[in-house]
Amino acid sequence: MSATPRVVVQTADFDLCAEVAALRSGDGGVGAVCAFVGTVRDRSDGASVSAMELEHYPGMTEKAIEGMVDEAFRRFDIRAARVIHRVGPLAVEDQIVMVAVSSAHRSESFRACEFLMDYLKTQAPFWKKERTPEGERWVDARVTDDAALARWGIEARNG
């Protein structure tokens, strides 16, 4: 197993190609890699957004995401997983999050990648401040998506 951490929360951008290469490196059993990259959009809830800022609780956030990765390993036949989530100020089109999963066969990596993104989007403890023409507004970065949670047998959290 690689010395590269499975979960990183950072301010710096990431290189998808380098991350996928590191995920595959030294594992001849990898037959598939699925990767997802989320970026900053210029709209949110119908409002124009010019920038955003993401915050988290250091230590707690990484631990929560590590638990998500552990759950992905329990549910799917995957060989490796890596989650990078950025925090701090971000501009429109900046990369926010990367999830990459390797497996012997494509179906497992696709499913695990989607599971991790659904879990991140709905359960991970991040908060964001959006800059709009009306001013700045803090919002919970988690979205309520009961259908996404139900697909994986996860109960919606309250609050």
pLDDT digits (tens, 9 = 90+) for 97-110: 999 999 999 999 99
Please report the DSSP string for the chain in residue order: --SS-SEEEESS---HHHHHHHHHTT-TT--EEEEEEEE--SEETTEE-SEEEEEE-TTHHHHHHHHHHHHHHHHS-EEEEEEEEE-EEEETT-EEEEEEEEESSHHHHHHHHHHHHHHHHHHS-EEEEEEETTEEEEEES----HHHHHHTT-PPPP-
pLDDT digits (tens, 9 = 90+) for 17-64: 999 999 999 999 999 999 999 999 998 878 899 999 999 999 999 999
Answer yes or no: is pLDDT of 1 > 50: no
Domains and CATH numbers, the chain: 7-148 (3.90.1170.40)
The pTM is what?
0.89
